[in-house]
Chain A
Amino acid sequence: MSHTDAPPRQPAPPPKSAGDERLLHRSLARRLMGRPELGSVVGAAAVFLFFSIAAEPFLRASSLSTVLYASSTIGIMAVPVALLMIGGEFDLSAGVMVVSSALISSMFSYQMTANTWVGVGVSLLVTLAFGVLNGILLTRTKLPSFIITLGTFFMLTGLNLGFTKLISGTVSTKSIADMEGFDSARALFASHLTIGSVDVQITIVWWIALVAVATWILLRTKVGNWIFAVGGNADAARAVGVPVTRTKIGLYMGVAFAAWISGQHLLFSYDAIQSGDGVGNEFLYIIAAAVGGCLMTGGFGSAFGAAVGAFIFGMTSKGIVYAQWNPDWYKFFLGAMLLLATLLNAWVRKRAEATS
């Protein structure tokens, strides 16, 4: 930016025409560098190339479908978690909330009715209520979201185990496969389509749809503007009339909604649920979002980046299997990838700001 008669920042401005040409060139480069997902796209390309060479079956269409399925199970949650991180908050309860949602659906159907769809509906309402609870606790107490959701994470973990043992007598739920509506619900949450000769899991469709909707919200709606603002500078946002509290509660409800989709997928792909599952997955979602360029301090990131982050993990987890390595190494790769990607993102951002 320069002013009409204030001195510009560069000591000796070049002639007007030459300056404008340079400006255009630089502006394009910077625009690319300024994209939050650039680092993750480069990383994804590197990982893809690596496994294409190291693991012979990796490039087959069926393998790719498996990789995409693995990516989608993380990706569905990584999208709203990314939005939440852009809004400046964490949700450590996201992993167990998926299992809570599945448990509620399964147990309500089993105990109260004979139709799985009733359970699915009740589960949606209760899971959204968890999201609202997280949001209200956060905005009312003004404690860091790390503490709030660490609390609700342990509470949900305990409730999952406690209620399941109380109701079923064991740590897993009873099968609901013979109930009315099971097949139609499975079609929606856990079926697969056949495209050509390749099986495509329906979660991939859910995932792509969520990324598209989240990107639309983030970049082209008022609410998206507010999400960036509450994460970037909540006080400034409040001062110009942005409903900060409502925006944050809405973001937690977004996480809860995705947890509901993931939970129903979990339930209908098997038919019974282990109540102790889900612990630790919240970190996978956060890692996917961070690798995808979401800033840990909020105000910067993208839904597409989080999707690429999830894709990197899908490739890594399945690539290790195709390369016939011991899958015990998977978590080491996760950690290393997080560090590398975050460093790369920080470097890219610094470069982007330096050239502006």
Chain B
Amino acid sequence: MTALVELRDVSKLYGNIKALEGVSLEVHAGEISCVLGDNGAGKSTLIKIIAGLHQHDAGTFAIEGGETRLGSPREALDRGIATVYQDLAVVPLMPVWRNFFLGSEPTTGVGPFKRLDVRTMRETTRSELLRMGIDLRDVDQPIGTLSGGERQCVAIARAVYFGAKVLVLDEPTAALGVKQSGVVLKYVAAARDAGLGVVLITHNPHHAYLVGDRFVLLKRGTMAGSHLKSEIALEELTRQMAGGSELEQLSHELARTETPEFPGGHRPE
């Protein structure tokens, strides 16, 4: 089966800085590929290449088997790759239904009487969200009144509705609490079950392991590991993610010393 998106040995340079070197990633329909890494590991660079914001400098980038080079986010969208950014998802003061169709509004009528198809917009928003398992009380409420997780879910439902084949999610659970993260992961799984290929960028191995089928670990711009779920256990993933030996060293550094010296001679009474 051909991968929806396949990156092979992709590299990206910003001037003389290697942001990404030799990274490979496969995204299949109905599967979730997780990209894990700490801050500065190259996760953002990787999604920018897939989303069409940047072009790779070396390696190959294929969409459904055909090698390609995306020129703009619009081109990526037209090829079926939708990216949901953590902070760029919605316009808070606008009603949910206006947000849902923003930038791709359906119209009815001709000439000067061309107008928004408000009824379709409202009904589609309600039914599409329901299909994703989100039961919205009122599609007219400003989307800013929804919780962070719910907003992410609307953005995901939106991408699914507009025919995305590949869904790229940038740290969808980063700013969320445990419960909200669970809700978002549920919709990520729902998108997968709808037959989409999902790229989940995260620095949380626990979230990744819950839903992921493939795991790519990035460290300082290079690929530190690439595993199928069957090949790796959560403990191992967490250990690799946290940097294994680095974590051990940190635990030594943080260990309590026997007799603490108080500089300046001030001792607690």
Contacts and interface: CB of A to CB of B under 8 A. Distances in A.
Interface of A: 1-4, 6-7, 23, 27, 31, 34, 216, 220-222, 224-225, 228-229, 232-233, 235-237, 239-242, 295, 299-300, 353, 356
Nearest to A1: B136
B118 to A, nearest CB: 7
B134 A1 contact: yes
B115 A220 contact: yes
A219 B204 CA distance: 42
Contact of A299 (B93, B104, B105, B118): B93
B150 A233 contact: no
Contacts of A241: 73-74, 77, 103-104
A2 B138 CA distance: 10
A209 to B, nearest CB: 14
B28 interface: no
B136 A232 contact: no
Given A4-B133, A229-B102, A299-B91, 14 more contacts: A1-B135, A1-B136, A222-B105, A225-B105, A225-B116, A228-B93, A228-B98, A233-B88, A233-B91, A236-B88, A236-B102, A241-B104, A299-B93, A356-B138
Given A1-B134, A233-B90, A240 B114 contact: no
Contact of B133 (A3, A216, A220, A356): A3
Interface residues of B, number: 38
B252 interface: no
A27 B134 CA distance: 19
Interface in B124-153: 133-138, 140-142, 144-146, 150
A222 B107 contact: yes
A232 B135 contact: no
B98 A2 contact: no
B103 A237 contact: yes
B211 interface: no
Interface in B182-238: 182-183
Interface of B: 73-74, 77, 85, 88-94, 98, 101-105, 107, 114-116, 118, 133-138, 140-142, 144-146, 150, 179, 182-183
Given A1-B134, A3-B134, A300-B93, A235 B88 contact: yes
Contact of B98 (A1, A225, A233): A225
A222 B105 CA distance: 6
Contacts of B179: 6-7
A334 B182 CA distance: 52
Contact of B92 (A224, A225, A233): A233
Given A1-B135, A233-B90, A240 B150 contact: no
B93 A3 contact: no
Nearest to A4: B133
A233 B150 CA distance: 18
Contacts of B77: 241
A33 to B, nearest CB: 12
Contact of B73 (A34, A216, A239): A239
Given A3-B133, A23-B137, A31-B140, A299 B103 contact: no
Contacts of B115: 216, 220-221
A356 B134 contact: no
Contact of B102 (A34, A242, A356): A242
A236 B116 contact: no
A3 B94 contact: no
B93 A240 contact: no
A56 B92 CA distance: 47
Nearest to B91: A232
Nearest to A242: B103
Nearest to A298: B93
B102 A240 contact: yes
